[in-house]
Structure formats: structure tokens, C-alpha cells
Amino acid sequence: MRTPLVAANWKMNGSREFAEHFFADLDLEGVTSDVVVCPPFPYLPLVAQVAKDKGSIWVGGQNMSQEPVGAFTGEVSASMLLDWNARYVIVGHSERRSLYAETNELVAKKFVAAQLAGLIPILCVGETLEEREEGRTLEVVTAQIAAISDLIDTNAWKDAVVAYEPIWAIGTGKTATPEEAQSVHQFIRAQLGNIGAEVQILYGGSVKSANAGALFAQADIDGALVGGASLDAKEFAAICHAAI
């Protein structure tokens, strides 16, 4: 069946010193889920080295360009992530969508470029508070998924991860209840067609050790994409331990 996955999204936090301490403190002994750490780009080599030495984590990028190479100042390509043994890359995080104007169409191009290069995209989807209050959650998520489905063969979902991150729950301390999250996860799985049963669908938005167990107990929640709590090695390890 589906292996649980816990992903750390450090966002634009940390430093070289922080990263070194983080891994010294990170005790994943006994963890059975897959674990991926997505640091800011400059710390990819450091995380890649830890992944090589410890063997218990995967490396991921937080974003990538849809273009393979060329005059795109400030961008990072899929092959550059692969140079540091990345296995995953987050695409379409809500902060990229809202702060950097990434559209469903652009995110779909990044998703395809990631898969073409051999990376596993972690596609983020989710609604704003306003959209939820207007009862438009499923409509928004459907459009975000459909933009990808339009470009890929249905089977390609097997080599992807979806993260449902309600925007109103990100960094706010408010989490969707396990039941609220489960109902959207179940809906997303159905959107992925026959292959849906094999796709890891993560929940993201104020996940911490105190709420992880109840979220992971839901049938269609296969792990978490963790922001703030992934900056604390003990807290992050506790979330990883809860994913069974």
C-alpha cells in the first residue's frame, strides 16, 4: 500500500549553522515513513551530504523552473536539483502562487518538467479562506488538478505526490479538522482516476506533533508537508514518528 511520507518545507528560513545543528539533533531511529527535507537552495549540498551519510532522508527542492537551461536569472533547473541527488521538488506552493503569481498553467508546466527530468513533483493545492467560506473548495482544487491532468497521461500521477494545503491553515496555527481534511483528500484521490489509490496525498497547514496522529489516522491522509514545525528537529522527528 502507500508508504507514509513526511516532508519538511523550510521555506526561506535557516542558515548553514542552523542546518548543521538540525541534523545533529534529528533522531529518526525507528521511523518507517519516507522523510524528505526541502531546504533553501544554498543548503542543498549540505542536506545531500546528510542524506548520503545517514541514509534516512531524501532531498527535495522547494521550487524549480519549467525551463531546462538558459538565460533565466535567479532560476534553478530540475537538472541542478538532480545534481544534489534531489528526489522530490515542491511545485505550486500557495506562497509561489500568491506572491510570485504562479498560475495553474505555469505550475502544470513545472510539474511536467520535473517528471521529465526524473524528479517526483509534490504538487500543492488548496483554497483560500474566502474560497472556503464561499463553498468553493472542491471547485478550486478541481481546477488545480485539472490543469495537470490536461497535460499528462493519467498513469503519471503515480510518480507524483499531492499536498492539500488549505491556505487559511498555513502558518496560522489553525488546522483543518482531521474530518475536513479527509473529505478533501478523498475528493482529490477520486480526481486522479484509477491510479488515485496509489498516490501519496499529504496534508499541510499548521501540522505539529500534537495534531499529526489524528490527521494521519484518516484513511486518505498519507503524511504531511510541514512548514514551521519542520524547523525544530525534535518536533519534526515526532511528526515523522507519528506517520505509520
Q: Which residues bind ligand 13P (CB under 6 A)?
A: 9, 93, 165, 170-171, 204-207, 225-229
Q: Which is nearer to ligand 13P, 196 or 204 (CB)?
A: 204
The answer for 81, left when phi > 0, alpha when psi is -120 to 50, beta otherwise, is: alpha
Q: Which lies closer to ligand 13P via its Cβ, residue 71 or residue 99?
A: 99
Q: Is 165 a catalytic residue?
A: yes
> Choosing from 93, 185, 235, 241, which is the catalytic residue?
93
For the bound state, the minimum distance from the C-beta of residue 70 to ligand 13P, rounded and expressed in Å, comes to 28
Q: Which is nearer to ligand 13P, 78 or 207 (CB)?
A: 207
CB of 9 to ligand 13P, least distance (A): 4
Among 127, 165, 185, 235, the active-site one is 165
How far apart CA 6 and CA 237 sit, in angstroms, is 10
Q: 58 has which bridge partners?
A: 36
In the complex, least distance from residue 53 CB atom to ligand 13P, rounded to whole angstroms: 26
Q: Choose between 142 and 209: whose C-beta lies nearer to ligand 13P.
A: 209
Nearest to 208 by CA among 186, 185, 184, 232: 232
Q: Which residues pair with 90 in a beta bridge?
A: 122
Per-residue cell: 142: 478541481
d(CA 5, CA 243): 7
Asked if residue 243 lies in contact with residue 224, where contact means CB atoms within 8 angstroms, the answer is: yes
| Bridging pattern class, strands 161-164 and 200-204 | parallel
Nearer CB in complex with ligand 13P: 199/212: 212
Q: Cα dihedral sign for 38, 6, 206, 17?
A: negative
Q: Which three cell numbers, joined as nine digits, stand for 24?
A: 545533529
Is 241 an active-site residue? Answer: no
- In sequence order, the β-bridge partners of residue 195 are none
CA dist 24 and 27 (Å) reads: 8
- Its sign, for the CA torsion 20, 15, 223, 198, is negative
Closest to ligand 13P by CB, 50 or 226? 226
Catalytic residue annotation: 93, 165
